[in-house]
Amino acid sequence: MNKIILIICIFTSAFVFSQKKHVSYINTNSLSISVTSSKELETINWQDIKEVFKDNDPESDVSLEIKVKLEEKSTNKLSYKYDYSFKSNSKAKDIDSLIVRMKKGVNYINRVTKNLKK
């Protein structure tokens, strides 16, 4: 009887201690978005970008970058290519203000590329 109780105690303790929970965290430090036209900038879902950084440590540094790579345009003797980028850094706890800055940057890029088409 003592042996059975001892075996039950050993198996019970083995099962209890083997179920430790291991938690690992992933910090996303930067996100870069590349588009080939200014029209694609309007399709950015800012809520998804916020979700990317939601599990970060509030004091971790994060950066967002948007790159617009327009295709080369040619006129009679002149060919030109415009590429734009906008990058902003902040802390993860200030992600809302970072997204507001990025929206302003996207609006500025849209205005500049709109004037180039005229």
Choice between 52 and 22, residue whose per-residue pLDDT is larger: 52
User: Taking the model in full, what pTM does it have?
Assistant: 0.67
Q: State yes or no: pLDDT of 84 exceeds 60.
A: yes
pLDDT score, position 6 = 79
pLDDT score, position 63 = 92
* Planar angle of CA 43, 44, 46, nearest 5 degrees: 140
How many Cα atoms sit within 13 Å of 39 on the Cβ side? 1
pLDDT score, position 117 = 57
Other CB atoms within 10 Å distance of the CB of residue 95: 20
Report how far residue 41's alpha carbon sits from residue 33's, in angstroms, rounded to the nearest whole number: 9
| Range with top average pLDDT, 38-47, 49-58, 93-102, 104-113 | 93-102
